[in-house]
Amino acid sequence: MLYVDEFVYTNKLRNSHPLERFIFAFVTLIIGILTNNPLINLIIVTIMLSFLIYWAKIPSFVVVRLMLIPMGFLVLGVVTIAISISFSPNDMLAYIPVGTYYLGITFKSLNLAISTMLRALSSISCLYFLALTTPMIELIYVLEILKMPNIVTELMILVYRFIFIFIETAFNIYTAQSSRWGYCNFKRSIYSLGILFANLWGKAFLKSKALFISLLSRGYENKLQVLNPKYRFSKVYIITFGIIDLLLIIMAFI
Amino acid sequence: MFQYILEAKKIEFSYLDGTKAIKDLSLKIPQGKKIAVVGNNGAGKTTLFLHFNGVHRPQKGEILFKGEKLSYNKTQLKTLRKNIGIVFQDPDNQLFSASVYQDISFGPVNLGWPENKIRAKIEKVMKQTGTWDLRDKPTHSLSHGQKKRVAIAGILVMEPEIIILDEPTAGLDPIYTGQIMKLLDDFNKNGTTIVLSSHNIDEIYAWADYVFVINAGEIIAQGLPEEVFRNENILKKANLIKPWVLEIFDELMGNTEIAEYTKIPRTREEIINIIRNLHSTCN
Ligand SMILES: Nc1ncnc2c1ncn2[C@@H]1O[C@H](COP(=O)(O)OP(=O)(O)OP(=O)(O)O)[C@@H](O)[C@H]1O
Ligand SMILES: [Mg+2]
């Protein structure tokens, strides 16, 4: 996750208004879910992945690896859809007899499985498009525009920052320990890891206290108000995204 | 108007674990000056600074802001914190957002300024502190020195009357150290009182108008830098080393005929000038 984070901040699609990307990803997602035409789903996957690789310039191996993560679940789920049970093997494309039943794949179930698979993939690619082109801070900003309650966005700002402080602290303790042979054998490893976690909580607590003090010093009063950089809407993006979604809608529903 | 903008009167403070960090400490910060607080590790500098904006409350004694005693009620703390900006020692404790821009905007938004003014201020200060190029980067991928500069920008942008900086230049490279000190000078010329702590004695010696030496929770000396840093007793007691400019100057004083009226040099340029003049008089 942290590794992916670095590509997000340097992706080439960042220079526009995050809302454009958010709406594009969201509308395309909805089209992909509502359509009954697997071809549309296939097109969506292609568009999203090629945008990520060729436009946002996210290295293709990162995109491929990310797409592979949910594959395990997906294949498992889809296989159970594809296989059906029936008394007669009449309209089955392939089957194995199990007692008096037949376990096999019908044309209908295969169709359903493939379209489910493609629909899931198109949804995933839409979400990855958003996640890989839009840093968390900008996503929070979009949520603010969409009138998400302040408490939620404030928490997201703090949590997101703290994840990194937490990991950095853990990593520093780990480095300090391992450079003094803290993980040389199993017994020491268990011992060192225990100390690491105990310290991590203590440090996280102190850090949050120190952070609170510094927020107070800058005039914090129950509300974490900030300004975001001025994002500009760009015609190129809006027109491109608009035309793509319009074509998809026409192809899918008309 | 107020000769002393900030005062501590016989304050005492212990941490919960019993560490007596401040003992019967009194000091007065003159308005519009450049003040340095020096002392070894654990002397109590950070603890003292946290008294100045009401985060710590002295168990004995009192703090005065513009001659008025702190009573620690909400409205008073609010005005106090509006007027006193603190840059903390560890920038990770100050940066709460992953966005550099968001973080710097936090203080001004709290002050309730109009958005246009805030945006203009942010841009100006970010350019002054060399953080403008970092605005699209997440704070967690910045180097320590870069984080430090963002933290400093987050306070400067609020334009407080007093800026307190806890080791602002620790971890900065010489170029940025110079730039930040210069920037503080500019703020000072516009009337801002600057208080800072540092372990870089040479830098303090060249920069400060007035120096406080703190040791084990007490002020053991105060005065003009050229007085304080020439007092061997104080230096020894507070684990300090004489600034090299003074060291060389005193050496020259001992060995050569320097006119009595030579001004004591504060900076590299000044001492070099003295040495150059020395050469020309010899020839
Ligand atoms: N939260 C705390 N709890 C207990 N003791 C503390 C705490 N913070 C500081 N101290 C102690 O108080 C004393 C003064 O610490 P302080 O941080 O003010 O020193 P300092 O002059 O800022 O040192 P440095 O130059 O290392 O930053 C030290 O003995 C320190 O151990
Ligand atoms: Mg300190």
Residue A196 lies in a domain: yes
Which protein residue's CA is at the shortest distance from atom 29 of ligand 1? Answer: B42
Q: What is the pLDDT of residues A113-141, one digit of tens each?
A: 999 999 999 999 999 999 999 998 899 99
Residue A46 lies in a domain: yes
Q: What is the pLDDT of residues B209-261, one digit of tens each?
A: 999 999 999 999 999 998 999 888 999 988 888 999 888 888 887 766 666 66
Supply the pLDDT for residue B282.
Answer: 60
Residue A143 lies in a domain: no
- Given a cut of 60, whether residue A2 has pLDDT beyond it is no
Instruction: Give the ligand at the shortest distance from the Cα of B25.
Output: 1
Q: Rounded mean pLDDT of B36-53?
A: 92
Residue A246 lies in a domain: yes
- Given a cut of 90, whether residue B75 has pLDDT beyond it is no
Q: Rounded mean pLDDT of B82-110?
A: 91
If asked whether residues A116 and A176 sit together in one domain, one would say: no
Supply the pLDDT for residue A46.
Answer: 95
If asked whether residues A11 and A90 sit together in one domain, one would say: yes
Q: Is A228 on the interface with B (CB under 8 A)?
A: yes
Q: Is B119 on the interface with A (CB under 8 A)?
A: yes
Q: Which atom of ligand 1 is nearest to the CA of B217?
A: 14
Instruction: Give the ligand at the shortest distance from the Cα of B214.
Output: 1
Question: What's the domain count of chain A?
Answer: 2
Nearest by CB to A214, from B94, B118, B119: name it.
B94
- Given a cut of 80, whether residue A3 has pLDDT beyond it is no
If asked whether residues A66 and A162 sit together in one domain, one would say: no
Cβ distance B109 to A214 less than 8 Å, yes or no, reads no
Supply the pLDDT for residue B104.
Answer: 94
Q: For residues A94 and A105, is the Cβ–Cβ distance under 8 A?
A: yes
If asked whether residues A27 and A109 sit together in one domain, one would say: yes
Task: State the residue range of the domain holding A91.
Answer: 1-134+230-254
Q: Which residues of chain A have a CB within 8 Å of the CB of B97?
A: 137, 157, 161, 226
If asked whether residues A10 and A97 sit together in one domain, one would say: yes
Q: Is A159 on the interface with B (CB under 8 A)?
A: no
Residue A139 lies in a domain: no
Q: Cα-atom radius of gyration of chain B, to the nearest Å?
A: 20
Q: Own/partner pairs for A249-252, CB < 8 Å, 24+ apart?
A: A249/A31, A251/A37, A251/A40, A251/A43, A252/A31, A252/A34, A252/A35, A252/A37, A252/A40
- Given a cut of 70, whether residue B137 has pLDDT beyond it is yes
DSSP code, position B135: T
Q: Is A144 on the interface with B (CB under 8 A)?
A: no
Residue A56 lies in a domain: yes
- Given a cut of 60, whether residue B1 has pLDDT beyond it is no
The mean of the pLDDT values for chain B is 89
Q: How far is CA B30 from CA A136, B8, B39, B83, B209, in A?
A: 45, 12, 20, 15, 10
If asked whether residues A18 and A130 sit together in one domain, one would say: yes
Supply the pLDDT for residue B153.
Answer: 94
If asked whether residues A152 and A252 sit together in one domain, one would say: no
Cβ distance A161 to B122 less than 8 Å, yes or no, reads no
If asked whether residues A18 and A111 sit together in one domain, one would say: yes
Q: Which atom of ligand 1 is nearest to the CA of B45?
A: 21
Q: For residues A89 and A97, is the Cβ–Cβ distance under 8 A?
A: yes
Which residue has tokens 């080439």?
Answer: A12
Q: For residues B166 and B86, is the Cβ–Cβ distance under 8 A?
A: yes
In whole angstroms, what is the distance from residue B246 CA to residue B205 CA?
9
- Given a cut of 90, whether residue B86 has pLDDT beyond it is yes
If asked whether residues A129 and A173 sit together in one domain, one would say: no
If asked whether residues A63 and A130 sit together in one domain, one would say: yes
Number of residue pairs across A and B with CB atoms under 8 Å?
110
Can you give B37-66 as a three-state secondary structure string? EECCCCCCHHHHHHHHCCCCCCCEEEEEEC
Q: What is the pLDDT of residues B168-223, one digit of tens each?
A: 988 888 888 888 898 899 999 989 999 999 988 998 999 999 999 999 999 999 99
- Separation of B58 CA from ligand 1 center, angstroms? 15
Around ion ligand 2, residues with a beta carbon closer than 5 Å are B 45-46, 89
Binding pocket residue ranges, ligand 1, CB within 6 Å = B 15, 17, 19, 21, 39, 41-47, 89
Q: Is B41 on the interface with A (CB under 8 A)?
A: no
Supply the pLDDT for residue B256.
Answer: 65
Supply the pLDDT for residue B259.
Answer: 62
Question: What pTM did the predictor assign?
Answer: 0.84
Nearest by CB to A210, from B93, B105, B119: name it.
B93
Q: Rounded mean pLDDT of B91-99?
A: 89
Q: What is the pLDDT of residues A134-186, one digit of tens each?
A: 998 899 999 999 999 988 998 998 888 888 888 888 888 888 888 888 888 88
Supply the pLDDT for residue B126.
Answer: 94
If asked whether residues A122 and A162 sit together in one domain, one would say: no
**Local confidence band at B60 (pLDDT 50, 70, 90 cut-offs):** very high
Supply the pLDDT for residue B115.
Answer: 93
Residue A141 lies in a domain: no
Supply the pLDDT for residue A94.
Answer: 80
CA-based nearest residue in chain A for residue B51: A217
Tokens of B115: 């958005």
Q: Rounded mean pLDDT of A194-210?
A: 87
Among the ranges given (A95-109, B39-53, B102-116), the one the predictor scored with the smallest mean pLDDT: A95-109
Supply the pLDDT for residue B257.
Answer: 65
Cβ distance B141 to A9 less than 8 Å, yes or no, reads yes
Q: Which atom of ligand 1 is nearest to the CA of B44?
A: 18
Supply the pLDDT for residue B261.
Answer: 61
Q: Rounded mean pLDDT of B59-77?
A: 89
Residue A102 lies in a domain: yes
- Separation of A207 CA from ligand 1 center, angstroms? 15
If asked whether residues A237 and A114 sit together in one domain, one would say: yes
Which protein residue's CA is at the shortest distance from atom 25 of ligand 1? Answer: B41
List of residues 6+ apart from A228 with CB closer than 8 A: A137, A138, A141, B99, B101, B102, B105
Instruction: Give the ligand at the shortest distance from the Cα of A205.
Output: 1
Supply the pLDDT for residue B281.
Answer: 64
